[in-house]
Structure 1
Amino acid sequence: MHAMRSNFLGMAICGGLFSALPAHAADFKPPQGCEVFMTVQMHNCQVANYYRCAADPEGDLWTAFADGEGIYYLSHIDSETRWLESVSTDTGEIEMFDPGASKDAPSFSALLSDGKDDYDFVTRSNYRGLRRYVGSDALTGNSLSIDDVPLETITFDLREDDQNGQTVATRTGTQYISRKYRVFFSGAERFENDQGDVVSYDDSPVRFDFPGDPGFSTETPEYDCDLMMTEADLRPTRVSLAPLSRSFSKEALQ
């Protein structure tokens, strides 16, 4: 995607995706012309399938997030991890990058070369209208391996403003990056909205599955699901912040 599409067009395209995605199947099936290359089991009863589509520009990437009830979120980024579009299946919200209004889109290349990347960009939603995101990512210099996949840690801070310039939410914490796959993964984060609601969570990856692995392309999460059911009445209500599609935390959704 090189330009902002209308909400109508975005809804039509994403509607086509929904029709191709099974809501409660054990195995994730990407849309026709797309291929899954990695499945990530995460804490807090979540699983993410990463896939590429032949019709997209080179480097574009889609991710389908699922919990025990099926797919609840789709994201689409480019090779620089710029948020192109996202879809919440829970609410029907479609949020899309507005290049004309954005001052400084995220750059994965800048993060790797400079050790820090500042960004200031705008999205438009069929529900919430204009949203401005201002923040920065910084490499910590620390690396680790999760399930034999090499990762590096970053710290980040992110502010979300509405169309009137009022701050409606902030997000801070740590995340992981993969240089090989040019993606971000969630870590320990803190979210606060303008009503004073605060949520802390850690949706870090637990296991990576690739073609040939038993868990590859599954839509069934495996970690912390019993705990999530036990604590369902105690967990805070999910507060409203459309996540950067390059990295996702379910707790930040309504």
Structure 2
Amino acid sequence: MTSRLRMWTLAGALAAGAATPALAGKIVVPEGCEAFLSVQMKECGVSHYWRCNEGPEGAVWEVHYDADGAFSMSVYSAEFQWLDSRYFADGTREHLVEEGPDPASLSELLDTGRDTYAFVIRETGPNGARDVVHQGYDRLTGRTVTIDGTELLETEFASTAMDAESGETVYEVFGNQFVLADERLFFLGPDTFRQDGEERENDASPLLFIRPGETNFGDTMPQFGCEGAEEIVFRPAPAAAARP
């Protein structure tokens, strides 16, 4: 499903601890939780996933880093229903307030090949608060993709976000994503984002799947597509050779 910039709302969980924002280093997960996957992706991003003993059964947390450090943290249900997100740069939060008549269901997608959804997310931040209806569908294309030795199911999706009060379209996005069925996770793929008459092509597809004990597991620095954020290093020109 869409909406992969997300965070957590379990009572007391945020106060108990979170992944440590940093330009480089290793993630630190809350006590009682265990990280199980790091994913390096295109467009200068890396995400880390963990589960917690005291969280809802099957719930998964994700912290996402870009070149500047920790960008967002999110939590999803066992059905990969988006529950809550926090964005570190400005403190914006997006959390589920109403599942609506048709909550997202990964089980439905895997069992039938298609899942529709409609639910309400409340956005709060520097510009105030509003409720946004997210509705759309995910469909398995029947194609299996192998990335870094990991077998993924390809999906086709389309989603529309609408202001719950006015009914006006906030944005639309459509394209492809990937499902890691064994871990019940979605990953971004190539998509098209439309907002305010403008259109943008994105592709944050996964490139590396790193598991506990493997090199670079838990690293917070993205590895791919970060050329624009590389450190600028001044090197003086070589001294001119002395004339004989």
Are the counterparts in 2 of residues 45 and 67 from structure 1 also a CA contact under 8 Å? yes
Structure with greater Cα Rg: 2
Counterpart-to-counterpart distance in 1, 2:18 and 2:148: 30
Return the offset for 1:126. 2.1
Counterpart-to-counterpart distance in 1, 2:209 and 2:201: 24
CA offsets 1:162-219 (integer angstroms, 9 cap, x no match): 12111110000000001101011000011011x2122111000000100110111111
Which 5+ residue runs of structure 1 have no aligned equivalent?
A: 1-8, 231-254
Which runs of structure 2 are paired with 1:1-254 in the superposition (5 Å)? 10=9, 13=12, 15-16=14-15, 20-24=18-22, 25-99=24-98, 102-127=100-125, 128-163=129-164, 164-193=166-195, 195-226=196-227, 228-229=228-229
Are the counterparts in 1 of residues 67 and 229 from structure 2 also a CA contact under 8 Å? no
Identity %: 32
Return the offset for 1:15. 4.8
Residue type at the aligned position of 1:229: A
Return the offset for 1:22. 1.7
CA offsets 1:78-125 (integer angstroms, 9 cap, x no match): 1101111111112211111123x6121100000011110011111112
> How big is the alpha-carbon RMSD for the aligned residues of Structure 1 and Structure 2?
1.9
Counterpart-to-counterpart distance in 1, 2:66 and 2:94: 21
- Structure having the higher helix fraction is 1
CA offsets 1:209-244 (integer angstroms, 9 cap, x no match): 001101111111111111x438xxxxxxxxxxxxxx
Counterpart-to-counterpart distance in 2, 1:58 and 1:11: 13
Q: How many residue pairs were aligned?
A: 218
TM-score relative to the length of structure 1: 0.81
Residue type at the aligned position of 1:212: G
Counterpart-to-counterpart distance in 1, 2:19 and 2:177: 28
Are the counterparts in 2 of residues 11 and 94 from structure 1 also a CA contact under 8 Å? no
Are the counterparts in 2 of residues 133 and 159 from structure 1 also a CA contact under 8 Å? yes
Secondary structure of the structure 2 residue equivalent to 1:109: helix
Which 5+ residue runs of structure 2 have no aligned equivalent?
A: 1-7, 231-244
Return the offset for 1:36. 0.6
Residues 156 and 43 (structure 1), Cα distance of their counterparts in 2 relative to 1, 3 Å cut: same
Counterpart-to-counterpart distance in 2, 1:77 and 1:20: 16
Residues 12 and 56 (structure 1), Cα distance of their counterparts in 2 relative to 1, 3 Å cut: closer
Return the offset for 1:20. 3.7
Return the offset for 1:10. 4.6
